[in-house]
């Protein structure tokens, strides 16, 4: 996730992002990636496909919050509609 965030920051400097911007849309297919384990956790727990997708997305949101809070860079949190958004503020020495 950190690599995907750094890619966003490099290519879209100053633009806020939400998890769905990085791992949704055309990047929605997680099969074959480490993120697929999030989906499988919920499928194996008995959830249907749609519920498993929604729960995996929520899990990824929490993972992203942890990654950003532990990162050496400083990110500003905000809201973009109903979802959390983040922006690298670039004030590191």
DSSP character at residue 31: T
Q: What are phi and psi of 42, to 5 degrees?
A: -80, -35
Residues of the domain holding 52: 2-88
| Nearest-angstrom CA–CA distance, 84 and 72 | 20
Whether residue 69 is contained in a domain is answered as yes
Task: Give me the number of domains the chain comprises.
Answer: 1
Tens of pLDDT, residue by residue over 19-31, are 999 998 888 888 9
Whether residue 46 is contained in a domain is answered as yes
Whether residue 93 is contained in a domain is answered as no
Whether residue 75 is contained in a domain is answered as yes
Whether residue 48 is contained in a domain is answered as yes
Reported pTM: 0.85
Whether residue 24 is contained in a domain is answered as yes
So what's the pLDDT on residue 62?
95
43 and 52 Cβ atoms separated by less than 8 Å: yes
């Amino acid at each position: 996730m950190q690599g995907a965030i750094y890619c966003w920051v490099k290519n879209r400097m100053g633009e806020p992002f939400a998890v769905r911007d990085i791992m949704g849309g055309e990047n929605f297919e997680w099969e074959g990636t480490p993120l697929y384990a999030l989906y499988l956790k919920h499928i194996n727990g008995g959830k249907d496909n749609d519920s498993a997708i929604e729960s995996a997305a929520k899990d990824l949101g929490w993972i992203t919050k942890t990654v950003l809070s532990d990162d050496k860079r400083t990110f500003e949190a905000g809201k973009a509609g109903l979802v959390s958004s983040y922006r690298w503020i670039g004030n590191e020495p």
